[in-house]
């Protein structure tokens, strides 16, 4: 029971990670060469990195459980233990240094805005976030001046000068045709003027607010994942103990009866 429960648990994560790797490879190969070969700015690289890590770890667990190999199971258990410790340390540091975490998040989101037009996957991700949370920019809609295409400067030759992406626009009920130019010139407007056309509140504040409102849901998901990892670690240790016990029993039997 322990053996096959551990195998099925690892197998499900293994299949999921394989799908992540496949989607990441497809996304990477299907787009044009980009200057955004950076983990923080390229969603396909994030998928590939996380998928490969989970794939490798769960493959070790699957093989160890299926073939009753204590060495692989011990490697799997130690990796899980390290991951658990890192998660606890990250949670504690994130709580103690929440201000620094927000600063880092601001930097990452600012970098993503700067690279908005350079990567289609990143562009779709930012558009989804702005639509989902009804926000624009990091702290304000004027953060889009960090992008060379939207920079609100007289010397900027771009047609999108002083604009914001269409995903910042307030959607008109019943509108059948999407107006992708709805955000043009909005950075020149004051906040009270722009509020009737676009979302002026930044996405960072919106995401933090959503997390605070859904604290129980987020905490429940995080706790559930944490205890699932503990369960898998416990199953791996139990299976190692069972295999070692059987091996020792066989050795003791052979010593008592050499003919066998």
Cross-strand bridge partners of residue 140:
201
- Better pLDDT: 146 or 9: 146
In the prediction, which pLDDT does 39 show?
47
Using one digit for the tens of pLDDT, what is the confidence trace for 66-103?
A: 888 889 989 999 998 998 899 899 888 888 888 888 89
What gap in Å lies between CA 49 and CA 53, rounded to an integer? 6
How high is the pLDDT of residue 222?
Answer: 85
What average pLDDT does range 10-17 have in this prediction? Answer: 86
Residue 37 is predicted with a pLDDT of 47
pTM over 0.85: no
pLDDT of residue 219: 85
Least confident of 27-36, 40-49, 217-226, 237-246: 27-36
Percent of the chain residues past pLDDT 70, beyond the cut: 92
Task: Supply the pLDDT for residue 50.
Answer: 84
Neighbours of 72 (CB within 10 A): 20
Here the tokens at position 26 are: 């497809």
pLDDT of residue 251: 77
Q: How far is CA 7 from CA 4, 73, 116, in A?
A: 5, 11, 42
Give me the pLDDT at residue 35, please: 44
- Outline where DSSP puts E strands in the chain: none
- Tens digit of each residue's pLDDT (9 = 90 or more) over 34-45: 444 454 556 677
CA distance 121 to 94: 28
Per-range mean pLDDT, top range of 107-121, 141-155, 205-219, 240-254? 141-155
Quote the radius of gyration of the chain (alpha carbons, Å).
26
- Structure-token pair, residue 16: 């999921």
* Superfamily, domain 99-213: Tetraspanin (1.10.1450.10)
> What proportion of the chain, given as a percentage, has pLDDT over 90?
29
Mean pLDDT of the residues in the chain: 85
pLDDT at 211 over 80: yes
Q: How much is the pLDDT for 212? A: 86
Give the separation between CA 167 and CA 217, rounded to whole angstroms.
27
Query: What are the sequence ranges of the domains in the chain?
Result: 1-96+223-260, 99-213
Nearest-10 Cα torsion for 168, 195, 191, 146: 0
pLDDT digits (tens, 9 = 90+) for 160-171: 999 999 999 998
| CB within 8 Å of 145: residues ≥ 6 apart | 151, 152, 153, 162, 187
């Amino acid at each position: 029971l322990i053996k096959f429960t551990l195998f099925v648990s690892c197998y499900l994560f293994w299949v999921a990670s394989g799908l992540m790797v496949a989607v990441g490879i497809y996304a990477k190969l299907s787009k044009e060469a980009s200057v955004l070969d950076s983990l923080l700015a390229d969603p396909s690289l994030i998928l590939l990195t996380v998928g490969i890590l989970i794939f490798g770890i769960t493959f070790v667990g699957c093989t160890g459980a299926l073939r009753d190999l204590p060495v692989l199971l011990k490697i799997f258990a130690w990796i899980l233990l390290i991951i658990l410790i890192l998660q606890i340390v990250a949670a504690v540091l994130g709580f103690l240094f929440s201000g620094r975490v927000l600063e880092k998040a601001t930097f990452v989101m600012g970098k993503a805005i700067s690279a908005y037009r350079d990567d289609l996957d990143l562009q779709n991700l930012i558009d989804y976030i702005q639509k989902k949370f009804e926000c624009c920019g990091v702290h304000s809609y004027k953060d889009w001046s960090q992008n060379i295409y939207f920079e609100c400067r007289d010397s900027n030759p771009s047609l999108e000068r002083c604009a914001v992406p269409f995903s910042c626009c307030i959607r008109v009920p019943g509108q059948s045709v999407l107006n992708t130019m709805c955000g043009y010139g909005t950075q020149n407007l004051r906040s009270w003027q722009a509020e009737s056309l676009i979302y002026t509140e930044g996405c960072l504040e919106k995401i933090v607010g959503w997390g605070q409102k859904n604290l129980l849901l987020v905490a429940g998901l995080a706790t559930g994942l944490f205890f699932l990892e503990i369960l898998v670690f416990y199953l791996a240790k139990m299976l190692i103990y069972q295999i070692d016990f059987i091996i020792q029993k066989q050795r003791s039997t052979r010593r008592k009866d050499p003919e066998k």
